[in-house]
Structure 1
Amino acid sequence: MSILEKTAAAPKVDMPLIENRFALRRKIASTALADIYWADDLYTPTQGEKDHLMLLILATPSIISLPGFAKAWSAVMSRPAPPAAAYPTITDWGNAETHYWFSCPQTQGSLLSEYLHELDKHKLTPDQALQMTAAISHALNNVQAGAFGYFEPGATLHLEASYVLLNAPLVKVMHLLLRQQTGVRAPLALHSPWLSPSVAIGDLPVTEDDSFSLASLYQMLVGQQLPYGQESTLTALAHGTSATIYPKFKTETRELLSQALSLQRNQRPENPEALIKGLGRKNHRKLLLPLAVLAAVGVVVYASYHLVSKFNGLLNEPTTTTQTATSANPATPEAPKPPAQVNKTDQVTPATDTLSLVNETTLPTPEPLTTSASSTVTPNTDEVTVPPTAPQAITQAELATATPATTSTTATNTPSATETNPETTAATNPEASSTTTVAQQTPVAETNPSNGATDVTPLILKATAAFNTNQNTGNTETLNLLRQVWSIDRQNPNARALLNQVIAQQQQQTESHLNLTRLTEAKQSLAQTDDLIREFNLTDRIEEQVRLENQIEIHEREAKEAAELIQQAQAALKRGNLSKEDGADNASAHLNKLMFMLPNHPKGRELLNELVQMRQTQIKRDLERNRLTRAGSALEETSRLIRKYRLTSQTKAQNSLEQDYRQAIEVQQAQTAPSQTPDTEAETNLVVTEQETPEQPVMIVPPPVEGERYVTPNDDLTVLNPQPPTTEPAIEQVVIPEVTVQNPEPAPRPVDARPIRRPQPAPRPRSEEIEIEGGPAQVEVPEQTSPPVSIQPTIIEQTIEQTQPIVTQTEELPAEVALPAPPATAIDAGIINNQGILDAQIITTPLTEEEIPDSERK
Structure 2
Amino acid sequence: MPFSNQPILETSKPQDLPLLQERYALRRCMAETALGKLYWAQDMKPAEGSNQTNVLVFTLLPALAQNPVFEQVFGHVLPTYQKPVPGMPQVSDDGKTPEGIRWMVIPSIGGMLLSERLAELDERGMPIPDTTELLDSLASTIANQRPEGIFGYLEPGSILLGEKTPCLLTAPVAAALRSAYNNNHGDRHRQTLHSGYISPEVLLGDLPTSEDDTFSMACIAYHLLQGEPPFGKQSTLEATVRNLSPASIRKLRPDAWQVLQQGLNLKRAARQKTPTTLLRALQRTQKRKLMLPAAALVAAGTVAISTYHLLSSWGLSGGKPAEPTTETAVNVTAPALQENTPAETAALVDENAPTPALDQESVQRERDKLAAETAAARLEAERLAAEAADKDINSLQDKAADAIRKGKLVSEDPDTPAALDYLRKAVALEPDNIKTRKLLAQMVNGQHAETENLLIQGQAEEAGKLLAATDRLITEFTLADSLKRQVSLETEAEQAKRKAALSAENNGEPDTAKAADADKNTTDANAETADTNTTQYLERARRAIGYGNLNSGDERSESAVAYLSTLLEKSPGQSEALKLMEKLVTLQQEKAVSYLGKRDTETARSWLDESQSLIGKYKLDALVEEQIALEKRYRETLAMGIFKPGEEPASVSPPPVATPTPTATAVPAPPAVPNSIGYPSTPPEPATVPPTLPTAGGEMTPTNTSSATITATPSAPVAPMEVSVPDDIPVQGALEIPADTSITPLPPPTTELPPVQLDAPPVAAPAYDPAPATVTFEVPEDNGNTFTPDVPNLMEVPLDVIKEGLSATDGQNQ
Q: TM-score normalised by the shorter chain: which range applies?
A: 0.3 to 0.5
Q: Give the structure with the larger helix fraction.
A: 2
Q: Which has the larger radius of gyration?
A: 1
The two structures have a TM-score, normalised by structure 1, of 0.36
The two structures have a TM-score, normalised by structure 2, of 0.37
